[in-house]
Structure 1
Amino acid sequence: MAANAQPGITDTAVSYVIEEELGCNPYQSLRPWRQILVSVTIISTNLLPFISFGAMMGGGFHVGKALGADTPAQAGWFAASYTLTHGTFVLISGRLGAIYGHKYVLLLGGGWWTLWSLINAFCRDTVSFNIARGFTGMGAGLILPNAVAIIGTTFPPGKMRNFSIAFFGAAAPVGGGSGPVFAGLFTQLLPWKWLFIFLALLGSLMDWVGGTIGVSSLILFNFVWNQVPVSGWCGYEIAILVISIALGILFILVEGRVKEPLLPLNIWRAPSFGAAMLVVFLSYMAYGTGFWYTATWQQLIRKWTLLEFAAGGSPLIIFGAFAAFLSAWLIPRLAAEGILAIGALTVIAGNIFIATMPAQQTYWAQVFPAVLLFSFCPDFIFTASQIIASNSVSRENQGRAGSLIGVLQLYGTSTGVGFGGLVEVETNDHDLQPLRGYRAALYLGIGLGIVALLVDLTFVIVREYAQIFTYSTLVVSIKSGTAENVLGLGADSDTRSPLRPPGACHPDHEDWQAVLRPGSWLPADHRVHHEFLRRVTKHVAANPTEFSPAIQSFKEFIEGNSRVYMYFVQMFEEIPRKQPYFRDPTGTKQIRDYKHMLQVLNHIVTRAPEWTDAAESVGMVGVPMCAILDYPMATASGHAAFLDPDVNKMLKKVLNEWGKLLQTPKSAEVLGNHTQGWFGNTGIGDLMQVANGPYNTSMKFEEMYICEPSAKHYGFKSWDDFFTRKVHDKARPVASPDDDNVIANACESKVYNIEHNAQLRDRFFAKGQPYSIIDMLAHDPLSKQFAGALVYQAFLSALSYHRWHSPVSGTIKRAFVEDGTYFSEPLFEGVGDPTVKEIDTGGISVGQGYLSALATRAIIFIEADNPKIGLMAFIGIGMDEVSTCEITVKEGQHIKKGDELGMFHFGGSSHCLLFRKGVELKGFPVVGRQENVPARGQLAIVV
């Protein structure tokens, strides 16, 4: 599988997360025929502006000649003026749509574009025509980002959205390629003005100061480079260039001070972002130069009519549409940086074909392959740069980054025409050698493309991004603050964001009810969480120590990996800046950043978990790392980070180091009968309360567990030795050992849920999570036999008995440990209202189904002796630091009901039993039972 591929992340899962998990449907509900109508309308809003763009790229010389522009340099403005404002006004139009509504700004842009297209038809000279073209481009700039936003708010993830986006993207090359056709028809059969009449018929805070300065700077800078080829370096040209640069500097200064900047300066510090934007700008400059001089060469040197040129450019329509779909197909298969490099190579090769061809030659020799190559550049560059931008910048800046790419796409094209014109004028010997000028301009385009490619190869390609960019764009689009725009939630939306789970309350709210964090391992009362962290952070601050080897490696890994560094910085920034998440009850800041996190983790992995002599602290003892990471891992960046394979490899190293410590005699020091010892009065009392619960007994510790009562620490040599303690047979007898129709319970645990007729791909358990049997069983070939299975799941606590026992007598068919995640919550857990900034207090307690599919887990297939049962499966599921699973049986081994299968080290999370379709079972314990179901006790009966 390619590095970029993200198995299991589907449109269905996305739709589920937004709609079913969060109890809402943020999309507009439309009938199929209305969906098609809306889609066609939105696509046309991108098609028509690019038809207008293509009409002047191909027909600008003909229209210009009618208005008195006799040279290609003079006619260059006919193509450049439109793309200049088209690209420039994209910079602010996305923000305008977020403030005033995307629909209204789109309608304004369409009306403005139509009005000025009509005005173009009645212009009598080049100056008024180019001014009108510039105003027309403003309308096109208002359309683009708002049309994209409307697609996102109208269509939920699925085929309709995918097709709408694909056709919307394809509208650009199709429109650009169709433009010369319309221009040829109207300029050769009718007066040129009818072309524009036809087009017309087809047709909260805002940084106004920064927007005005930025747009003015861009327009003046571009004006100079497109005007110099016409009039030369006159005094006013130099003055305008200086003014444009000064305005650009002023724009930077203003953006650094205003409250809501159009383009925050910190966006340029994001890894690879600046380099990627330079690649986009240079590539489109090369594209604009190549396309313009292809048109000029064919029409002026080879005397093609405009219709002939339109026919020659028709591959741009066909292959441009194909390129849009090809780039979308490549996204999950090739790194975005690779797609960007291919885009740069196509424009380089296209310019080379045109620059090296003789004055007269058949179309098929060099023009055709050049046009074919040009058709791939825009879609490849645009698609790849959007992905790189979404990976690089912070979540609140992703919308701005996307708009900037639209600016550079069109602004680069316009600027390329201007630069090419300047080179042409300086090298064509006063129009005596026009081909020499054309070639020089095209060589400039080749050079620009080569620089873009080198920048991509040198600064942009970051191997680590390839593993997560598709899934990252998905997570950020749902969880980030910009999700309000993605989902169409504006200032006039309902104050209760649909991103917040219904019924979720802040724990300080009077209606708050205690929940079990995660799976009853963390206490429900957040005050206990804070008290634990307060004590740990206080100790760490007073007792600084060197990092352990594993923690030091973790630190170097974070700081040496751009992608991971971004996640670990942002996950702490995304924790709500309010109680109970950001400060403890005394006002002290909690875990501050990843460096502070590493310091506290270092404290934990260098000692065994102590008992705290307070009943409400029970549960914290088993997962001290989870207590530290609980809030960060519930953020958008935290969720992405803790699903990352490389991050989980480092976590495994940390946990292995801690595990080795917990197997040493030193770790047994926390087992004493002192206040912070597990065998202190509170500790052993709570242990036995949990152990005696299932049968309502009153056994002592030594009567329940195999130990040495007279020895120190009951004879346990280490923390792990104590945690994996064995139980006496009399305390946990095997249920009906001679009756194969009786199913024994595999783990001492509380019932979580029971699902009947679960499919290989399904939604079941809490809130219908889209994690199902084929995922739970790690895509093992035997998993296909469990379509329509019955699934029983239960979870353990820190004080539970942690060994597993066979529920049936039979033969071990398959037994293996599947590596997975360690610290990860379901996507909907931890998603709160982006405005209110709250994290779901439910945590992993309602996410056991998620853990069963993604967490590290032991999977054992057993062929039961009872033919009524046949093949069944056991899954021991790790969670957080309790993710070490040890299997003690071998494949081919015959076992009896109640025999040991393996154990969790340092704790355990959950377990599942799967029975194939057709196995009739009854008598399962009631879901919601408070006491543990005893290990090896009766779980169910085969009918």
Structure 2
Amino acid sequence: MHPGIALTVIAACQLMVVLDATIVNIALPHIKDALSFSTTDLSWVLSAYTLTFGGLLLLGGRAGDILGRRRVFMAGILVFTLASLLGGFAQEPWQLLAARALQGVGGAIASPTSLALITTTFPEGPERNRAFGVFAAVSAGGGAIGLLAGGMLTEWLDWRWVFFVNVPIGVLIAFLAPRCIAESERHPGRFDIAGALTSTLGMASLVYGFIRASEEGWRDALTLSSFGAAVLLLVAFALVESRAREPITPLRMFADRNRAGTYVIMLSLAAAMFGMFFFIVLFVQNVLGYTPIRAGLAFLPVTVAIITGAGLSQRLLPTFGPKPFMVAGAAITGGGVLWLSFIDAGTQYVSGILAPMLLFGFGMGLNFVTLTLTAVSGVAPHEAGAASGLLNAAQQVGGSLGLSILVTVFGTASRDEAQRQVPSFLAQATPEQQAAFAKTHEMPPPWGDHVLTEGISTAFLAGVGMAALALLTALAVIRVRKSDLEALSGTAGAAGPVA
């Protein structure tokens, strides 16, 4: 067994899972046109993945402990690979969404197990520390790689290749894993299937309710039914977890105000982050006319800003403690979203998009390491995985929920703006444009650009509210001292959330 090959296999799995959170973003406008998604329904291409990934993440980690980490790791990779193949061949919107949900299941099984495999594959000391460093670097850089890869594959080949590209990588990982990674010792335990299903289905119902409301209104029967189902499922989840012998989400984790506060902050900031990526991708390609590759390059500065903020907070955390970084990070992130809310059809990239995105990214970077360390502060060693796993789940689920809320705001605002633009459009449109409008209900530029940007601008105002919730939580709830984090200062990189 060669340690270098083993680390390559583990890191490749993490890269594939992390990369898939962003590689699809750049292809969204092309997926929308090819499969006839509405703009609001298009958000499900992201949410279907993040909901199942976040909802089943802790169950995936538990499965590795009980059934053997290598076995579960390979199962997750094979599920993810099969789902990617199905997504690439999708001909209808529901087929793609089902494949994305299945991808999330595979990612939730493989990702936590890949991190745990490092501890069983590499001996404690410098060798394990180097492996954790590689894992953390892949987690941090995967988002940027995904943006570039998504742009290149979409422009040079086809949007379907953002899914097909995972197939040969997944097959190779599944082939090498049993040959270079030893199986871990199996530990007795129970699967909290009921907790995982009620939480995931409850959040999915909540997200569906918001997206449905954006198209059909708040009085729609299915909208109200979705919200009702969400309430019942989430209450059932709380009851299940309070009585389970081995709960997937230990509710005692929320008893500590600092830990509970970090989950709220991460959920709120992730909500703003997912919305920012979703809407700016649509803006730069549909309004500014960027090619997919240029759109991917346009987002790279955000990744640099996140890494810069994370590095700064990690160096200065022992001096100032976590709270100043949480407060400053939430405030700076909110400032970036507020700046983006001034977007309109005449906004240019450098003056109106790049600068606020850099501000946004730097603020997010200040929080990633800080939130991770605070989440595991004061936790017993055997529960550190659950505490950091909950933070990752909060990021994924918060992103899905926040995106659905922003999409609801976008749908209402853009629909109102479209009604204002219709008389002007019909008075000036050619017969061909009028015929196309009757079929799709979408107006071409410049009318369509005004409709899109009005919806985006209003959605970003809702994003400011989410960042404000994170700021208020940091100010009023967090009480952790810098001395509480001293023993944990070297663990942030490996366990941190996916940016």
Short-chain TM bin: 0.7 to 0.9
Q: Deviation of residue 97 (structure 1)?
A: 1.7
Looking at structure 1, the residues matched to 76 and 315 of structure 2 have their Cα atoms a distance apart, in angstroms, of 31
Q: Where does residue 302 of structure 1 map in the other structure?
A: 288
User: 1:762-821: CA deviations, max 9, x gaps?
Assistant: xxxxxxxxxxxxxxxxxxxxxxxxxxxxxxxxxxxxxxxxxxxxxxxxxxxxxxxxxxxx
The one-letter amino acid paired with 2:331 is L
Q: Where does residue 54 of structure 1 map in the other structure?
A: 22
Q: Point out where structure 1 has 5 or more consecutive residues left out of the alignment.
A: 1-29, 476-485, 487-943
Higher RCO structure, 1 or 2 (CA under 8 Å, sep 6+): 2
User: 1:907-932: CA deviations, max 9, x gaps?
Assistant: xxxxxxxxxxxxxxxxxxxxxxxxxx
User: 1:545-602: CA deviations, max 9, x gaps?
Assistant: xxxxxxxxxxxxxxxxxxxxxxxxxxxxxxxxxxxxxxxxxxxxxxxxxxxxxxxxxx
Query: What SS does the corresponding residue of 2:243 show, helix, strand or coil?
Result: coil
Q: Where does residue 115 of structure 1 map in the other structure?
A: 82
User: 1:601-655: CA deviations, max 9, x gaps?
Assistant: xxxxxxxxxxxxxxxxxxxxxxxxxxxxxxxxxxxxxxxxxxxxxxxxxxxxxxx
The aligned runs of 1:927-938 (5 Å cut-off) are none
The aligned runs of 1:408-487 (5 Å cut-off) are 408-430=394-416, 432=418, 433-462=451-480, 465-471=481-487
Alignment root-mean-square deviation, CA: 2.6
Looking at structure 2, the residues matched to 377 and 173 of structure 1 have their Cα atoms a distance apart, in angstroms, of 15
The one-letter amino acid paired with 1:383 is V
Looking at structure 2, the residues matched to 256 and 46 of structure 1 have their Cα atoms a distance apart, in angstroms, of 32
Q: Where does residue 250 of structure 1 map in the other structure?
A: 236
Looking at structure 2, the residues matched to 375 and 310 of structure 1 have their Cα atoms a distance apart, in angstroms, of 15
Confirm whether residue 222 of structure 1 aligns to residue 207 of structure 2.
Answer: yes
Q: Where does residue 213 of structure 1 map in the other structure?
A: 198
The aligned runs of 1:419-568 (5 Å cut-off) are 419-430=405-416, 432=418, 433-462=451-480, 465-471=481-487
Looking at structure 1, the residues matched to 250 and 288 of structure 2 have their Cα atoms a distance apart, in angstroms, of 49
The aligned runs of 1:265-664 (5 Å cut-off) are 265-376=251-362, 379-394=365-380, 396-430=382-416, 432=418, 433-462=451-480, 465-471=481-487
In the alignment, is the contact (CA less than 8 A) between 1:348 and 1:449 conserved in 2? Answer: yes
Q: Deviation of residue 111 (structure 1)?
A: 1.3
Q: Where does residue 42 of structure 1 map in the other structure?
A: 10
The one-letter amino acid paired with 2:13 is T
| Aligned equivalent of 1:90, options 31, 34, 57 | 57
| Aligned equivalent of 1:264, options 250, 259, 284 | 250
Looking at structure 1, the residues matched to 212 and 102 of structure 2 have their Cα atoms a distance apart, in angstroms, of 18
| Aligned equivalent of 2:69, options 102, 125, 141 | 102
Q: Where does residue 921 of structure 1 map in the other structure?
A: none
Q: Where does residue 180 of structure 1 map in the other structure?
A: 147
The one-letter amino acid paired with 1:301 is V
The one-letter amino acid paired with 1:223 is Y
Confirm whether residue 146 of structure 1 aligns to residue 113 of structure 2.
Answer: yes
Q: Deviation of residue 377 (structure 1)?
A: 5.0
Query: Structure 1 pair 295/250, CA: closer, same or farther in 2 (3 Å)?
Result: same
Looking at structure 2, the residues matched to 467 and 473 of structure 1 have their Cα atoms a distance apart, in angstroms, of 10
User: 1:110-165: CA deviations, max 9, x gaps?
Assistant: 11111100110111011111111111111112222222222233345554444433
Looking at structure 2, the residues matched to 408 and 267 of structure 1 have their Cα atoms a distance apart, in angstroms, of 13
In the alignment, is the contact (CA less than 8 A) between 1:173 and 1:375 conserved in 2? Answer: no
In the alignment, is the contact (CA less than 8 A) between 1:74 and 1:230 conserved in 2? Answer: no
Looking at structure 2, the residues matched to 47 and 339 of structure 1 have their Cα atoms a distance apart, in angstroms, of 28
Query: Structure 1 pair 405/232, CA: closer, same or farther in 2 (3 Å)?
Result: same
Query: Structure 1 pair 334/44, CA: closer, same or farther in 2 (3 Å)?
Result: farther
User: 1:220-240: CA deviations, max 9, x gaps?
Assistant: 222323343344443122212
Query: Structure 1 pair 149/327, CA: closer, same or farther in 2 (3 Å)?
Result: farther
Looking at structure 2, the residues matched to 116 and 42 of structure 1 have their Cα atoms a distance apart, in angstroms, of 19
The one-letter amino acid paired with 1:41 is V
Confirm whether residue 202 of structure 1 aligns to residue 169 of structure 2.
Answer: yes
The one-letter amino acid paired with 1:459 is V
Query: Structure 1 pair 287/317, CA: closer, same or farther in 2 (3 Å)?
Result: closer
Q: Deviation of residue 431 (structure 1)?
A: 5.3
User: 1:297-334: CA deviations, max 9, x gaps?
Assistant: 21222222222211111223444445554444344344
The aligned runs of 1:775-786 (5 Å cut-off) are none
Query: Structure 1 pair 164/372, CA: closer, same or farther in 2 (3 Å)?
Result: farther
Query: What SS does the corresponding residue of 2:89 show, helix, strand or coil?
Result: coil
| Aligned equivalent of 1:137, options 70, 91, 104 | 104
Looking at structure 1, the residues matched to 366 and 133 of structure 2 have their Cα atoms a distance apart, in angstroms, of 13
Looking at structure 2, the residues matched to 361 and 93 of structure 1 have their Cα atoms a distance apart, in angstroms, of 44
Looking at structure 2, the residues matched to 99 and 317 of structure 1 have their Cα atoms a distance apart, in angstroms, of 36
Q: Which has the higher strand share?
A: 1
Q: Deviation of residue 208 (structure 1)?
A: 2.2
Q: Deviation of residue 445 (structure 1)?
A: 0.8
User: 1:399-437: CA deviations, max 9, x gaps?
Assistant: 222111111111111222111110011122445232221
Query: Structure 1 pair 305/267, CA: closer, same or farther in 2 (3 Å)?
Result: same
Q: Deviation of residue 471 (structure 1)?
A: 1.5
> Whose radius of gyration is greater, 1 or 2?
1
Query: What SS does the corresponding residue of 1:356 show, helix, strand or coil?
Result: coil
Query: Structure 1 pair 329/183, CA: closer, same or farther in 2 (3 Å)?
Result: same
The one-letter amino acid paired with 1:213 is T
Q: Where does residue 184 of structure 2 map in the other structure?
A: none
Query: What SS does the corresponding residue of 1:53 show, helix, strand or coil?
Result: coil
The one-letter amino acid paired with 1:168 is F
User: 1:699-728: CA deviations, max 9, x gaps?
Assistant: xxxxxxxxxxxxxxxxxxxxxxxxxxxxxx
Query: Structure 1 pair 382/321, CA: closer, same or farther in 2 (3 Å)?
Result: closer
Query: Structure 1 pair 108/281, CA: closer, same or farther in 2 (3 Å)?
Result: same
Looking at structure 1, the residues matched to 356 and 135 of structure 2 have their Cα atoms a distance apart, in angstroms, of 24
Q: Deviation of residue 100 (structure 1)?
A: 1.7
The one-letter amino acid paired with 1:83 is T
Query: Structure 1 pair 223/357, CA: closer, same or farther in 2 (3 Å)?
Result: closer
Q: Where does residue 483 of structure 1 map in the other structure?
A: none
In the alignment, is the contact (CA less than 8 A) between 2:344 and 2:454 conserved in 1? Answer: no
The one-letter amino acid paired with 2:105 is M
Calculate percent identity across the aligned residue pairs.
Answer: 23
Query: What SS does the corresponding residue of 1:56 show, helix, strand or coil?
Result: helix
The aligned runs of 1:784-803 (5 Å cut-off) are none
Q: Where does residue 191 of structure 1 map in the other structure?
A: 158
Query: Structure 1 pair 158/229, CA: closer, same or farther in 2 (3 Å)?
Result: farther
Query: What SS does the corresponding residue of 1:316 show, helix, strand or coil?
Result: helix
User: 1:654-674: CA deviations, max 9, x gaps?
Assistant: xxxxxxxxxxxxxxxxxxxxx
Q: Point out where structure 2 has 5 or more consecutive residues left out of the alignment.
A: 171-188, 419-450
Q: Deviation of residue 255 (structure 1)?
A: 1.4
User: 1:175-210: CA deviations, max 9, x gaps?
Assistant: 222323323323333232233112222232222222
Query: What SS does the corresponding residue of 2:247 show, helix, strand or coil?
Result: coil
Query: What SS does the corresponding residue of 1:460 show, helix, strand or coil?
Result: coil
- Taking structure 1 as the reference length, the TM-score comes to 0.44
In the alignment, is the contact (CA less than 8 A) between 2:143 and 2:303 conserved in 1? Answer: yes
